[in-house]
């Protein structure tokens, strides 16, 4: 149900009916001609003119009967005004034109207006607490499904609808099953006029301190044909994704090489999609990025032992270069109306080159030296990853009967060449007692091969109950070789084998998992219950010594879920799952890693697989202009893999993964959104509460300890918009944290964090847009000598140019108060560490932005 102004069809307000079909629409203007539009699936749209008298507070309507919609032979197309939000089975749909944003806005700007949606400073999106991990345009993957590329580069004004669905596997979609742990996917449907033509954006900017940004995306769409190209280059810590936001965070994704500091990057790629005839669909993309990062950092760590404590201090200087090529190709073939074939392939290659210099020392509480270290570790890496999937599904003529076959293959090859040069001095009574010189060269090779085969057969037992039999076979072969030689002063070469750091290791995992599930679907109810039996064999072979460890396990993999739709727009779901997880090849290989000579990491070939139990409940409902979501989860782990640490008598630290039992956790999440609209004013409120309790067992200097961690947070966000001229979005979050330790004399840790942000824009006159972004962060656990609060304030002025305002001149000021600081504190059961990292601070940037729009030859 929605009310629109009769003069221009602009939205006034909307609502959804109750289970009885009742509805209330508030804030309808008086003495104004409006249209009431009612829509429902399977019925013809209903429209009537309404007008409230000045002295009338309420307009009560009689019962409205909708007429069923019938299609005879040819499809009938009905054009009608849509409500802003629609709830369909398994799909939440937003009518994009009903949500106002600033001119030339991107999809990311739209998301910040939608109820239940959160976009963090790095562009990660969550909807009702669940992560969005995939994005499609008109049902097709866009740049490999990477959400950030589309959200930051596609304009909002070409989008008709934004649909949110569970990101299920092909098998789960075919069999209509769910385990409750899926991420979400967004599908953007284009406006009809945007399905044929050119559109995009190009920009270039230069600022103080030689800061620069440049890039753009150009798209050509013609029905089923889609072609896009993208390119970016900058030294403003934005990585490979462009965007007009104010983020100059030092955090970088693994795609950009990881790490903090100052980064310059360049990237480019293309995406295509097309149909070959009526049966074959093709989709693919290529993306390249390159980054160079310089970083200076220093850290101070207090190591807490059962009977004493000591300090570790380090100064670090690192330079990292990283490049990556990604290629994806997807094809689907509809053999007939009942049979489909899907083929997916991915190729990913990367090259890295890093140099890390470290100067460190360890001291007792009274300042006596324990050890000192000067170390340079450099490494060159070359990696390749290839993966492919073949999936075929067939539906039989009997309703509900179906068969699927899926084969997945993954090949991963990582090689490295590393030099480790350093000197470590160990002290007694503040005098050097011994010295350890390190001059090593290591070659490493990690190869992984995974083959996975899955078959399912679904058989309806009656109208409401079906049985699904599933068989899964998986084989993982992992090879990890590390050969280390010491420098030979006589020959001037690295030709002296260092056996302590040389090892060849093989790991093989084979699983057979048959399982049987029963599903029930009737009216508002659905349920599923089943279990599988996993037969797992694991062989760990240390080739250097010839030691073979053969392990055999049998696990049950139970699952169950139940769901109930208590209204047209509300449902409750409860899920339980049990699953196992094998240790990684790096955790298993027994060869030490001494890239940091004072912190040596060991492997453990005796590790056992972990088994996880997960229970979660989700409740959601949309009613009128409000939306709420609640989630509750519990998890426990058998044979959880944790890292134990200990120190020798000269202060050198060692770590090794081990299995523990008794760890568990519980968490809760509550989200509420409410929207009010009165004439030209819209106010939206978002409330969020979440908390958790975790019990973790670990070791400190080989002594067992238990950490009980509690956390509770509350957030409130407002979004006030007046016409398209003013938008103000304040948000505030406070979080309380406490950890209580048992089993040794470790001081309990408690702290709180507060975050306040204020985003706003002013668009009056229409050729001028003023932007403001304020971020305040407070952390009570920051060490003495560092500010506990940081205020990041940035602003911009935008001047729209030309007759159609397709261009913009933008002057932005980042970090006006010069308070950006890379300071953090980490508190665990074994140490307290303070770290300061090099960051990007205040600069000005002047940019020119041009928007391309050429639809239908216009």
Cβ neighbours, 10 Å, residue 139: 12
Q: Is the Cβ–Cβ distance between 230 and 802 less than 8 Å? A: no
Torsion (CA) 541, 542, 545, 550 in degrees, nearest 10: -30
Q: Which two tokens stand for residue 24?
A: 């209330």
pLDDT at 244 over 60: no
Position 260 scores a pLDDT of 63
Cβ neighbours, 10 Å, residue 715: 17
Cβ neighbours, 10 Å, residue 606: 14
Angstrom distance (rounded) from CA 513 to CA 494: 48
Cβ neighbours, 10 Å, residue 616: 20
pLDDT band of 89, cuts 50, 70, 90:
low
pLDDT at 745 over 60: no
Angstrom distance (rounded) from CA 852 to CA 806: 7
Tell me how far CA of residue 74 lies from CA of 67, 70, 77, 78, 485, in angstroms: 19, 11, 10, 13, 76
pLDDT band of 734, cuts 50, 70, 90:
very high
Position 465 scores a pLDDT of 93
Q: Which of 148-157, 342-351, 505-514, 766-775 has the lowest mean pLDDT?
A: 148-157
Q: What is the CA radius of gyration of the chain?
A: 30
pTM of the shown model: 0.79
* Residue for token pair 């991963």: 412
Q: Within 13 A of 599's CA, how many CA atoms are on the CB side? A: 14
In tens, the pLDDT along 251-300 reads 333 222 234 688 999 999 999 999 998 899 999 999 999 999 999 988 88
Average confidence score pLDDT of the chain: 84
Angstrom distance (rounded) from CA 384 to CA 413: 5
pLDDT at 719 over 90: no
In tens, the pLDDT along 43-67 reads 778 888 888 877 777 778 878 878 7
In tens, the pLDDT along 155-194 reads 888 888 888 888 888 888 888 877 666 778 888 888 888 8
More confident residue, 441 or 652: 441
Angstrom distance (rounded) from CA 285 to CA 492: 47
At 313 the three-state DSSP class reads strand
DSSP code string of 435-454? EEEEEEEEEEEEEEEEEEEE
Give the pLDDT mean for 203-228.
91
Report the candidate in 536, 731, 711 with the shortest Cα–Cα distance to residue 117.
Answer: 731
**φ, ψ for residue 42 (rounded to 5)?**
90, 0
Q: Is the Cβ–Cβ distance between 49 and 35 less than 8 Å? A: yes
Cβ neighbours, 10 Å, residue 530: 19
Is omega for the bond preceding 83 within 30 degrees of 0, making it cis?
no
pLDDT at 248 over 60: no
Percent of the chain with pLDDT over 90: 35
**φ, ψ for residue 635 (rounded to 5)?**
-145, 150
Angstrom distance (rounded) from CA 339 to CA 390: 14
Position 92 scores a pLDDT of 76
Angstrom distance (rounded) from CA 230 to CA 232: 7
Q: Which two tokens stand for residue 632?
A: 């509750």
SS (H, E, C) 543-606: CCCCEEEEEEEEEEEEEEEEEEEEECCEEEEEEEEEEEECCCHHHHCCCCEEEECCEEECCCCC
Q: Could you state, in order of their start, the residue ranges of all structural domains in the chain?
A: 1-83
Position 255 scores a pLDDT of 27
Q: Name residues whose C-beta falls within 8 Å of residue 196's C-beta, 6 or more positions apart in sequence.
A: 221, 222, 223, 855, 856
Q: Is the Cβ–Cβ distance between 606 and 445 less than 8 Å? A: no
Q: Which of 546-550, 577-581, 591-595, 727-731 has the lowest mean pLDDT?
A: 591-595
Q: Name residues whose C-beta falls within 8 Å of residue 164's C-beta, 6 or more positions apart in sequence.
A: 91, 92, 93, 94, 127, 132, 184, 185, 186
Q: Is the Cβ–Cβ distance between 302 and 311 less than 8 Å? A: yes
Q: Which two tokens stand for residue 159?
A: 């989008």
The burial class, CB within 10 Å (0-12 / 13-18 / 19+), for 622 is buried
Q: Is the Cβ–Cβ distance between 207 and 851 less than 8 Å? A: no
Q: List the Cα angle 395/166/668 in 5-degree steps.
A: 140
In tens, the pLDDT along 66-78 reads 876 654 444 444 4
In tens, the pLDDT along 95-120 reads 787 777 777 778 887 887 776 677 77
Angstrom distance (rounded) from CA 473 to CA 534: 10
Angstrom distance (rounded) from CA 200 to CA 194: 11
More confident residue, 745 or 458: 458
Q: Parallel, antiparallel, or unpaired: how do β-strands 184-190 and 130-137 relate?
A: parallel
In tens, the pLDDT along 601-645 reads 888 888 888 888 999 898 878 776 777 888 899 999 889 888 888
Q: Which two tokens stand for residue 182?
A: 């899926």
Tell me how far CA of residue 381 lies from CA of 251, 506, 588, in angstroms: 22, 21, 21
pLDDT at 241 over 70: no
Angstrom distance (rounded) from CA 593 to CA 601: 5
Q: Which two tokens stand for residue 171?
A: 């098998």
């Amino acid at each position: 149900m929605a009310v629109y102004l009769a003069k221009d069809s602009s939205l006034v307000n909307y609502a959804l009916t109750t289970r009885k079909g009742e509805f209330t629409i508030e804030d309808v203007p008086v003495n104004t001609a409006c249209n009431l539009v009612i829509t429902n699936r399977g019925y013809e749209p209903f429209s009537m003119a309404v007008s409230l008298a000045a002295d009338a507070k309420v307009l009560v309507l009689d019962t409205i009967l909708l007429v069923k919609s019938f299609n005879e032979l040819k499809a009938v197309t009905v054009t009608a005004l849509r409500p802003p939000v629609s709830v369909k089975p398994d799909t939440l749909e937003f009518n994009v034109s009903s949500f106002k944003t600033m001119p030339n806005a991107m999809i990311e700007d739209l998301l910040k207006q939608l109820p239940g949606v959160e976009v963090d400073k790095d562009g990660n999106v969550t909807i009702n607490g669940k992560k969005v991990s995939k994005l499609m345009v008109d049902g097709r993957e866009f740049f490999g499904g990477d959400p950030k590329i589309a959200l930051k580069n596609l304009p909002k004004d070409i989008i008709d609808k934004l649909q949110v669905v569970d990101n299920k596997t092909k098998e789960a979609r075919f069999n209509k099953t769910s385990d409750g742990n899926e991420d979400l996917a967004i599908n953007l449907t284009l406006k009809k006029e945007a399905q044929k033509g050119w559109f995009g954006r190009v920009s270039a900017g230069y600022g103080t301190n030689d800061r620069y940004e440049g890039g753009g995306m150009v798209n050509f769409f013609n029905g089923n044909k889609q072609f896009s190209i993208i390119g970016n280059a900058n030294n403003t810590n934005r990585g490979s994704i462009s965007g007009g936001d104010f983020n100059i965070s030092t955090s970088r994704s693994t795609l950009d090489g990881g790490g903090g500091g100052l980064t310059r990057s360049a990237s480019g790629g293309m995406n295509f999609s097309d149909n070959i005839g009526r049966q074959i669909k093709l989709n693919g993309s290529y993306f390249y990025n390159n980054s160079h990062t310089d970083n200076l950092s220093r850290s101070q760590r207090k190591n807490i032992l059962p009977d004493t404590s000591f300090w570790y201090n380090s100064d670090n200087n690192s330079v990292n270069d990283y490049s990556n090529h990604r290629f994806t190709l997807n094809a689907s073939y509809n053999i007939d109306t009942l049979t489909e074939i899907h083929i997916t392939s991915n190729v990913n290659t990367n090259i890295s080159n890093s140099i890390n210099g470290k100067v460190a020392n360890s001291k007792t509480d009274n300042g006596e030296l324990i050890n000192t270290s000067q170390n340079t570790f450099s490494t060159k890496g070359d990696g390749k990853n290839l993966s492919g999937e073949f999936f075929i599904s067939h539906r039989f003529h009997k309703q509900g009967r179906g068969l699927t076959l899926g084969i997945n293959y993954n090949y991963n090859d990582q090689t490295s060449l590393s030099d480790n040069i350093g000197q470590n001095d160990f002290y007694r009574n503040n005098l050097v007692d011994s010295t350890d010189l390190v001059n090593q060269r290591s070659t490493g090779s990690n190869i992984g091969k995974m083959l996975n085969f899955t078959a399912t057969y679904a058989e309806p037992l009656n109208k409401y109950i079906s049985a699904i039999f599933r068989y899964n076979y998986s084989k993982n072969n992992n090879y990890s070789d590390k050969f280390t030689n010491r420098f030979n002063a006589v020959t001037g070469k690295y030709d002296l084998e260092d056996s302590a750091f040389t090892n060849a290791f093989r790991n093989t995992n084979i699983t057979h998992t048959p399982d049987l599930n029963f599903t029930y679907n009737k009216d508002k109810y659905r349920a599923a219950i089943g279990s599988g039996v996993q037969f797992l064999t694991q062989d760990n072979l240390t080739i250097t010594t010839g030691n073979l460890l053969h392990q055999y396990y049998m696990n049950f993999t139970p699952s169950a879920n139940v769901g109930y739709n208590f209204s047209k727009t509300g449902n409750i779901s409860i899920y339980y799952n049990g699953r196992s997880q094998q240790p990684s090849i790096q955790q298993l290989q027994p060869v030490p890693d001494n890239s940091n000579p004072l912190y040596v990491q060991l492997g453990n070939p005796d590790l056992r697989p972990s088994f996880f139990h997960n229970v979660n409940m989700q409740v959601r409902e949309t009613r009128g202009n409000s939306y709420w979501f609640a989630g509750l989860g519990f998890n426990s782990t058998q044979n959880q893999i944790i890292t134990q640490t200990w120190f020798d008598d000269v202060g050198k630290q060692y770590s090794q993964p081990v299995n523990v039992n008794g760890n568990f956790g519980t968490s809760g999440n509550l989200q509420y959104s409410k929207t009010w609209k009165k004439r030209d004013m819209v106010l939206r409120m978002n409330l969020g509460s979440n908390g958790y309790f975790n019990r973790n067992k670990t070791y400190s200097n080989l002594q067992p300890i238990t950490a009980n961690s509690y956390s509770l947070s509350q957030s409130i966000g407002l979004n006030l918009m007046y016409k398209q001229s003013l938008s103000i979005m304040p948000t505030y979050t406070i979080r309380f944290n406490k950890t209580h330790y048992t089993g040794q004399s470790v001081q309990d840790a408690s702290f709180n964090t507060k975050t306040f942000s204020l985003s706003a824009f002013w668009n009056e006159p229409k050729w001028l847009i003023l932007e403001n972004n304020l971020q305040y962060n407070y952390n009570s656990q920051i060490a003495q000598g560092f500010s506990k609060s940081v205020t990041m304030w940035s602003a911009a002025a935008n001047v729209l140019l030309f007759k159609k305002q397709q261009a913009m001149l933008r002057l932005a000021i980042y970090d006006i108060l010069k308070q950006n600081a890379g300071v953090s504190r980490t508190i665990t059961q074994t140490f307290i560490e303070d770290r300061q990292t090099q960051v990007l601070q205040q600069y000005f940037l002047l940019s020119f932005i041009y928007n391309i729009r050429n639809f239908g030859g216009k």
